[in-house]
Amino acid sequence: MKIIQHFLENSLRNFNYIVYSEQTKEAVFFDPFDLERTLPLAQKVDAKPKYLLKTHDHPDHIKDVESFLQIPGTKQLHLKHNEVFDLSENEKIVCLDTPGHVMNHQCFLLLESQVITGVICGDTVFNAGVGNCKNGGNPEILFETIKDIFNELSDDVKIYPSHDYFLTNLKFAKTVDPMNSFIDEYIHSCEDTQRLGEFMITTIGEEKKYNPFFRAMTKKFQSLNNKSAKELFIELRAKRDVW
């Protein structure tokens, strides 16, 4: 299974993802926003546009959905929570209901030989952050999603968010977790990669080091703020909304 991450260079700093099978060369397009830019990427690696999956229905995630479905032989997949889609015999995608950013949000686990290697996060989890809840969401429900689903994933699982807010999120994290040296380390790394026009792929384990919304799940960070995990998470989300 191969993952193409493409930065669209728009004002919302969207990423688009194409996941294709190394065996069948059939490709899944996630939240297609700009097919003029992403279709050539599939063609370059001889991957055939076949399936479409949406994380949610905000405009910046569905712009080119209808255009994709006009390509002969394509279809949209409608998966339920925990439903498995077989991209090939050993390459699978598992759907997860992940409400919070909006109530009908879904994320997608990527499995190779039954091992979870990555997750298409949509707007639920970002590098060093989580999605806002200002347009049809609920921070209390988002807390449960992060606690029960993402925080339980293995540390080596890679995350594939729908936007690049990494540097901004790290700078916010520094304001609420000023003694965390990992934040400084990743700010420097992020600045270096962005100067080169590149983007870091991080893991769940890395996010637990500096992402304040994952840090909220730890006893240490809770005690520093004298709050429960849920209280701290909701407070952090409110602060990030106006930061």
pLDDT at 157: 98
Asked whether the predicted pLDDT for residue 197 surpasses 90, the reply is no
CATH code: domain of residue 196: 3.60.15.10
Residues 126/166, Cβ–Cβ less than 8 Å: yes
Largest CA distance in the chain: 57
pTM: 0.96
Distance CA 181, CA 238 (A): 24
The per-residue pLDDT for 196 is 87
Number of separate domains in the chain: 1
Q: Which domain covers residue 221, as residue numbers?
A: 2-242
Percent of the chain scored above 90 by pLDDT?
95
* Chain mean position to CA 193: 19
What's the mean per-residue pLDDT of the chain? 96
